[in-house]
Structure 1
């Protein structure tokens, strides 16, 4: 698959939402080690709100991401709500005027989203946050786009980078959020935000690989 139109993009994020909601218990278990154990509930709440937007007709890709971000902001609350709103705000800015998303556009989306998160949340790599999964995945997406890879190839590589980034948070001392008060005691726990961000990349990758396989099967049948 080289690009996605509005219909395919909506299908992608519907799949992402379902997958993120399905991992509510896992995210809560991770968060219980450093926070108050409700990260999964918050993530589920946000993606259920996103599902409502995805079921409604949208004029443009820009509007789609603006509306998803706003819905997540209003439904999630806490610190993570504004972060996901910033992420989707970045997506919207990156696709302004576009009708389709190829790997280059997707890389721009995540790069702009990451920039909005970094500035808006005052966060950077190495602080044991979701940014430790997001930033390396963005770098891989940008490189994959330069190399002319397909959407599925690019997100498969980004998925691996995000998962490695999330795993790396185990050895980090938290410097942001409530977990920073634990100081050295925060070492040895995977950050729930990084884990859920990695899960987002995993679900995007799974969807794209599945769609590519379906397309290949249809071509073989014809």
Structure 2
């Protein structure tokens, strides 16, 4: 079941408003994501999440109204790939996905790591003998592990589920990104000190992506919005809010 919230954004820049007005009037713009703190914290969260806040500010500066829809991650990816006027946050930009989406703006970089409750797993080789590894179902991370030859995967619908399985002893490690376990209290409500974070094994880029039919004027306006956010300190302020 999809969960929807509407974010109403007031126009700020006349130039951007004129550039995207025909698109905005023709159809709503929908941001599709999955609940994955701290990127997207869920429709009922007070702090919406780093990716949601970044994209909302981009839409605000581009004078667009945005609907946020929460779906399981594999469905979210498919929805944006196959239907117009949809954006996706925050997918990894990978060679396999390059021609499937319009890549609007880089949101941030993240390190893929193994998270355990014992000794650190610092490489794929270190993880070979583990009995079970949780990983987000349908994600680029799952594909990374599959391509590395791992067959001992336990796909999960969220990192919160992965953390709970790890604490319960049902998996031996969770393959995720360092940002998920950055705070003193994790998305699953556990202490960061409850876990052991391994060394980065892959560096990835999280992006705002869109359906290939995205209006070029909208893409230009959104890209310009991100540039202005980086220039005036808004980008750093939003990221710092969630990472510190």
What TM-score comes out, normalization by structure 1 length?
Answer: 0.28
Q: 1 or 2, which has the higher strand percentage?
A: 2
Larger radius of gyration: 2
What TM-score comes out, normalization by structure 2 length?
Answer: 0.26
Q: 1 or 2, which has the higher helix percentage?
A: 1
